[in-house]
Structure 1
């Protein structure tokens, strides 16, 4: 059986990838970051090796020992944890020493290049997850009113600029005012911060960075995102078509309908 490597971070995306790869006849060899990955992933893969953030050479050895030549990155790494708990090994030090910038995209591309120089090609998880990518149009919940459509358009415009700066993927808007931009705190806290200033009725827009490398850092949303939106009274979630991964889509759509949150896919 052909093997595929999985470099796992937090959230449901590693589980979604493992399930899809198995369904396509692949044996999944996973490397999981401590403090980020749900230990239940071990039951979804053929083998699992635990590493600390920054142990690049340990990942290379795990894949080499298992005969893995292709691997996908799936799931996030908390940025605060990355600052405080990283344990860089010699491989990580070599990668960092060659970088002019430690922005997300530059760092992840450098990591991918390092793996490839050691015989492991990094591939896009979406090659196995096409069915989980956001479709176009109204997906669930109430239809948008004209004011909400304007807020979505503004959010898309601002998210494009935010992505060009390689800062974040999420913008919170209400009645033509930008309430919050995602930074190191992540999507959920950006939503809460926006609602703190704008109150109920906020519109949340999430999109890829322009020129996004689809091998890593794809936007992903699931039912938990809607739980946070319901908590603060946000009413619209607009996602980029074809580049946002929907985690547990049936439950996501059901929850949008029952909570009255509008879910739309926009180009």
Structure 2
């Protein structure tokens, strides 16, 4: 088990900035189960779920003024970010408050040249200037975090350890560049790095390499996902879900290894069912895993 982190106090009312995918729904439902009445701020052009069962509104990705007014009206004291964002906000999308105008030049530089983690830190800073506390989604959905060891019936074989070690180191170096969080190794050699396209499209590239004969079909390989070094864990934790398992299998990989306690496993039961059926291992890596020291 991973040691539990200190859970920040959630001040009423909880607001959830929702991007694309099922993750915001899982977090919102978990928050409701904990007794919260979350207010969902669906990001225009990104959120793709039905929010009719929750108090909600739709706001543009850069509408700081609209969000500030909403925070006051709904008495929101805590905000969390959940879900994917496909596009960066353009500067013309930004509707600032008077208090946030001073940060505009710095924000513009970040939008033009910053990595994803830099942009998220800037976004969190803007949110905190509205007088709210920003917390990670794992605060209300700790059950989504991966644990050490296999999730399903299968675990990595001794022959997989070289792939795990190589892909882990590559993912950490990639994270230092603020580019991505995942890497694939086959036969102890890193053959794919996650870029802006995301994990699923990276795995499609690996499947294409297999189909073209660039990779031997008889050798599996491993996908590893890690937090970026010094990542702000309040947003954009690495995540896997059913599609990750399906795409890893399509790429003829042996398995998936993720950083335990710092990676989200979405729709865990379906992930385990698929992994068992397709013969793909899914495992959480601890700091003292047998692959050796980092």
TM, length-normalised to structure 2: 0.83
Equivalent-residue separation in structure 2 for 1:86 and 1:224 (angstroms) = 34
Equivalent-residue separation in structure 2 for 1:69 and 1:93 (angstroms) = 22
Structure possessing the higher radius of gyration over alpha carbons: 2
For each residue in 1:44-66, what CA deviation from the matched residue of structure 2 results, as whole angstroms up to 9, or x when unmatched? x2x11112222222222222211
Name the residue aligned to 2:82. Answer: 74
Structure 2 spans left out of the alignment, 5+ residues: 1-10, 210-214, 287-294
Per-residue deviation, 1:93: 7.1
Would you tell me which structure has more strand in proportion to its own residues? 1
| Pairing 1:255–2:265 present | no
Q: RMSD in angstroms over aligned alpha carbons?
A: 2.2
Name the residue aligned to 2:18. Answer: 8
* Compared CA separation, residues 83 and 230, structure 1 to 2 (3 A): farther
Equivalent-residue separation in structure 2 for 1:74 and 1:153 (angstroms) = 30
Equivalent-residue separation in structure 2 for 1:35 and 1:106 (angstroms) = 22
Name the residue aligned to 1:88. Answer: 94
1:46-85 correspondence runs (5 A) = 47-78=55-86, 81-82=87-88
| Pairing 1:25–2:63 present | no
| 2:20–2:49 contact (8 Å) kept in structure 1 | no
| 2:79–2:134 contact (8 Å) kept in structure 1 | yes
**SS at structure 1 position matched to 2:172:** helix
Q: Which deviates more, 232-241 or 49-58?
A: 49-58
Would you tell me which structure has more helix in proportion to its own residues? 1
Per-residue deviation, 1:94: 5.6
| 1:169–1:207 contact (8 Å) kept in structure 2 | yes
Name the residue aligned to 2:154. Answer: 142
Per-residue deviation, 1:155: 0.7
* Compared CA separation, residues 5 and 233, structure 1 to 2 (3 A): same
Per-residue deviation, 1:187: 0.8
Q: How many residues align?
A: 263
Per-residue deviation, 1:236: 0.8
| Pairing 1:97–2:105 present | yes
Name the residue aligned to 2:122. Answer: 110
Equivalent-residue separation in structure 2 for 1:87 and 1:15 (angstroms) = 26
TM, length-normalised to structure 1: 0.90
Structure 1 spans left out of the alignment, 5+ residues: none
**SS at structure 2 position matched to 1:153:** helix
* Compared CA separation, residues 88 and 24, structure 1 to 2 (3 A): same
| Pairing 1:232–2:232 present | no
Equivalent-residue separation in structure 2 for 1:95 and 1:220 (angstroms) = 31
Equivalent-residue separation in structure 2 for 1:39 and 1:112 (angstroms) = 23
Equivalent-residue separation in structure 2 for 1:50 and 1:85 (angstroms) = 19
Q: Which deviates more, 139-148 or 123-132?
A: 139-148
2:140 corresponds, among 117, 120, 128, to 128
